[in-house]
């Protein structure tokens, strides 16, 4: 029998506003209204300033390890902007911008990194899951949430975020396999920032794109400029429509870069060339968005100064609320673990004694 091709693949890359200010009028037409791009820029700026403050909080001993978001603000923000309020936003730990747009208060993020788990008690109206520090686990959660929605006949979809390194985890492959084979409406957003802590992307994936990893599971895949808020909105909008209309997953590789260290416990200078960082600073999502707004007469230095003053007040207020929060009650470990507290644990909570354990210990002692 002759040899014939049975599969030909193509990965599209989407870029609408590049770092040089070039804007694709056709792709960008009607995508983000002028009033909204201003709000999105303000949201990214607010998140960037929180990073600056959080870094100082950590260095002064007022907060534990903190992962800065700077450089990656556009990815999660674009998703939060596109998705419905009741769609699930399933994040890892560098999606503050999207969470804030969704309505999660800044102090929740600060509390988490201060070691107070009340920061992870995301109110239900936000439809955001707690911050996921373990690499890759949240992809399974997103698939499960979207699957449950489909099973119940609801209209919610799920959108999850993870890094390039997470695609080497078994959790990614299991989530992608389930989502594609069972037609689950979930959007997989891979934030390829080229570094899995200190491991370079070329070791994580030898293929030309990370995006094509989703092809093996039979889902649509594409790559976008992750520092281009317009391209990210375009891609997530397309994926969300596919999820709603066809109940099909999509894999989006968002090419971006973390401008800071992996966390405040890391020193990226030990493994990353400064020249590489300098190149990516010119591709900053905030920088290019501001240039775009200025070119359209939507922004100027006076508006920038006024925004900065407003953001400082908002962030400082969030810091004050997080540091002045009342001390948690010991009983909280019982109250927030079970939907309906078993009677023996209710007894332990109310008496602050382990009655059942003490009784068993006494019986064993007498029997011995």
Q: What is the pLDDT of residues 50-62, one digit of tens each?
A: 999 999 999 999 9
Measuring CA to CA, how many Å separate 315 from each of 53, 284, 327, 334? 8, 22, 22, 32
Cβ atoms within 10 Å, residue 257: 22
What local confidence, expressed as pLDDT, does residue 122 receive?
A: 84
Query: Across residues 178-190, what is the average pLDDT?
Result: 97
Q: What is the pLDDT of residues 30-86, one digit of tens each?
A: 999 999 999 999 999 999 999 999 999 999 999 999 999 999 999 999 999 999 999
What local confidence, expressed as pLDDT, does residue 365 receive?
A: 43
- Nearest partner of 303 among 101, 38, 52, judged by Cα: 38
What local confidence, expressed as pLDDT, does residue 260 receive?
A: 95
Task: Name the phi and psi angles at 89, rounded to 5.
Answer: -110, 110
What local confidence, expressed as pLDDT, does residue 354 receive?
A: 78
Q: What is the pLDDT of residues 213-254, one digit of tens each?
A: 999 999 999 999 999 999 999 999 999 999 999 999 999 999
Residues with a catalytic annotation lie at 258, 262, 271
Q: What is the pLDDT of residues 311-361, one digit of tens each?
A: 999 999 999 999 999 998 888 888 888 889 999 899 899 888 875 555 554
- Identify the band that residue 123 occupies on the pLDDT scale cut at 50, 70 and 90: confident
Domains of the chain, start order = 12-323 (3.40.50.970), 333-367 (no CATH)
pTM assigned to the model? 0.91
């Amino acid at each position: 029998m002759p040899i014939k091709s049975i599969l030909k693949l193509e990965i599209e890359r989407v870029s609408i506003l590049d770092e040089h200010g070039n804007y694709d009028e056709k792709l960008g037409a009607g995508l983000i209204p002028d009033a909204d791009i201003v709000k999105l820029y303000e949201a990214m700026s607010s998140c960037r300033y929180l990073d600056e403050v959080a870094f100082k909080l950590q260095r002064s001993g007022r907060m534990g390890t903190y992962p800065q978001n700077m450089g990656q603000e556009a990815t999660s923000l674009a998703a939060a902007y596109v998705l419905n309020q009741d769609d699930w936003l399933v994040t890892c730990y560098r999606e503050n911008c999207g969470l804030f747009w969704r309505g999660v208060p800044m102090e929740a993020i600060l509390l988490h990194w201060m070691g107070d788990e009340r920061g992870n008690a995301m109110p239900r109206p936000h439809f955001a899951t707690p911050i996921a520090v373990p690499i890759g686990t949240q992809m399974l959660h997103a698939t499960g949430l979207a699957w449950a929605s489909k099973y119940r006949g609801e209209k919610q979809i799920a959108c999850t975020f993870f890094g390039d390194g997470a695609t080497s985890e078994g959790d990614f492959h299991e989530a992608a396999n389930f989502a594609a084979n069972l037609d689950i409406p979930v959007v997989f957003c891979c934030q390829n920032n080229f570094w899995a802590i200190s491991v370079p992307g070329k070791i994580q994936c030898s293929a030309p794109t990370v995006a094509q990893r989703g092809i093996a599971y039979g889902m649509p895949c594409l790559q976008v400029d992750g520092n281009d808020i317009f391209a990210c909105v375009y891609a997530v909008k397309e994926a969300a429509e596919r999820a709603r209309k066809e109940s099909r997953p999509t894999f989006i590789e968002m090419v971006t870069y973390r401008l800071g260290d992996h966390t405040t416990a890391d020193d990226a200078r030990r493994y990353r060339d400064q020249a590489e960082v300098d190149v990516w600073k010119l591709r900053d999502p905030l920088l290019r968005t501001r240039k775009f707004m200025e070119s359209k007469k939507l922004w100027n230095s006076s508006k920038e100064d006024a925004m900065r003053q407003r953001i400082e007040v908002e962030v400082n207020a969030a810091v004050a609320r997080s540091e002045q929060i009342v001390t948690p009650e010991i009983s909280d470990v019982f109250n927030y673990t079970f939907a309906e507290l078993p009677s023996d644990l209710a007894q332990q909570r109310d008496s602050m004694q382990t009655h059942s354990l003490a009784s068993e210990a006494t019986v064993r002692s007498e029997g011995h």
